[in-house]
Structure 1
Amino acid sequence: MTESKERKIKRCIESRVVQTHRVLPSDLNHHQTLFGGNLMSLIDNTASISAARHSRGVTVTASMDSLDFLHPIYSNHSVCIESYVSGVGKSSMEVFCKIMGEDLMTGKRYLAATSFSTFVSTKTKEQGDIIVPLVEPTTEEECLVCEGYQKRREKRIINREFNERFANAISYAAPWEAEVF
């Protein structure tokens, strides 16, 4: 049997997660918009649920591959993060997040950001090695997002190789012990 016949296939909607939050004054930066770090935390939380739903295993964030801020999110607006698995390797999953803002007074919605993250399903004593199911898009948007997976994956592999070489060249000396130029 080929690998694809042995592996289960799940539709994107089976890993879909939607979380909505009100943006409060404590969430804001000095521009009076949602602090980017807070949004990153919300994205990671939402995307991690999608990865766990898809793999039905223990997952960890391997990387936040991209986060493109498109429109600021203001105080007293809501932020809605929608995520689903958009591509898979053997044990890795790419998760797409669409971040929508909404002016709660007018009802106007806008695309605030998009993001891709990679999660890895980890081996456990109970489950052993995990081979994640393949993913099948069914909507026009899912097809558009999923069709770019292979190119994004190739770019991640190149970036990972560079990052490994780069990390090996970085000094581990304490900053107060480093030479001053």
Structure 2
Amino acid sequence: MKSPLPVSYSKMKQTRLVLPPDTNHLDTIFGGKVLAYIDEIAALTAMKHSSCVVVTASIDSVDFMSSAKVGDALTLEASVTWTGRTSMEVFVQVSADDLLAGQKVMTTESFLTMVAVDQNGKPTEVPRLIPETEEEIRLYETAPARKEHRKSRSTLR
């Protein structure tokens, strides 16, 4: 069995510049571009936590609260919020910084489920998680309800 790891061990942060090819006719970033960035940082975070290759099992929710425009610095922050036997829930927050105006807004929040796989593509065990801060504990304690919601969605198919 792998030793438990604190949430802080695998936290990741990325910053990207919003460029014209990333945007729509309103000069705001395409939602699909943001989703690709979210998936990438979630995978990196889960790989660091598990020391394994991971696959995206689900993008549970994506809430777009505001948009980012050309020239903004898009900052993505991700952390593992809960672990199962082979899966990890990852929470990603995205903010947009207008560096010239000195304004920062939260643009997107998302929960994803990543599964660690071995060299044969079979799910493999991941380390348990040790939440430390109040926010980490809150996300950890509310994860089972999100898992149940995921399960109820999948039975509707």
Q: Normalization by structure 2: what TM-score?
A: 0.93
Q: Please report how far the alpha carbon of residue 111 of structure 1 lies from its aligned counterpart in structure 2 after TM superposition.
A: 1.0
- Asked whether 1:46 is paired with 2:46, we answer no
Give the conservation status (yes or no) of the 8 Å contact 2:115–2:123.
no
- Cα distance in 2 between the residues matched to 1:153 and 1:38: 26
More off after superposition, 153-162 vs 46-55: 153-162
**Alignment partner, residue 178 of structure 1:** none
Q: Secondary structure at the match of 1:72?
A: coil
**Alignment partner, residue 73 of structure 1:** 68
- Cα distance in 1 between the residues matched to 2:49 and 2:152: 26
Q: Give the number of the structure whose residues are more often helix, by fraction.
A: 1
Amino acid at match of 1:131: E
5 Å-filtered alignment, 1:116-155, equals 116-124=111-119, 130-155=124-149
Larger Rg: 1
Q: Please report how far the alpha carbon of residue 124 of structure 1 lies from its aligned counterpart in structure 2 after TM superposition.
A: 2.6
- Asked whether 1:9 is paired with 2:22, we answer no
RMSD: 1.7
Q: Tell me, which stretches of 5 or more residues in structure 2 are unaligned?
A: none
Runs of 4+ in structure 1 deviating by more than 3 angstroms, as ranges, are: none
More off after superposition, 104-113 vs 11-20: 104-113
Percent identical across equivalent pairs? 35
**Alignment partner, residue 175 of structure 1:** none
**Alignment partner, residue 161 of structure 1:** 155
- Cα distance in 2 between the residues matched to 1:30 and 1:135: 43
**Alignment partner, residue 103 of structure 2:** 108
Q: Normalization by structure 1: what TM-score?
A: 0.81
What per-residue deviation string (whole Å, max 9, x for no partner) do you get for residues 71-117 of structure 1? 11111111100001111111011100011110110221111110000
Amino acid at match of 1:28: T
- Cα distance in 2 between the residues matched to 1:129 and 1:30: 42
Higher relative contact order (CA 8 A, sep 6+): 2
Q: Give the number of the structure whose residues are more often strand, by fraction.
A: 2
Q: Please report how far the alpha carbon of residue 129 of structure 1 lies from its aligned counterpart in structure 2 after TM superposition.
A: 5.9
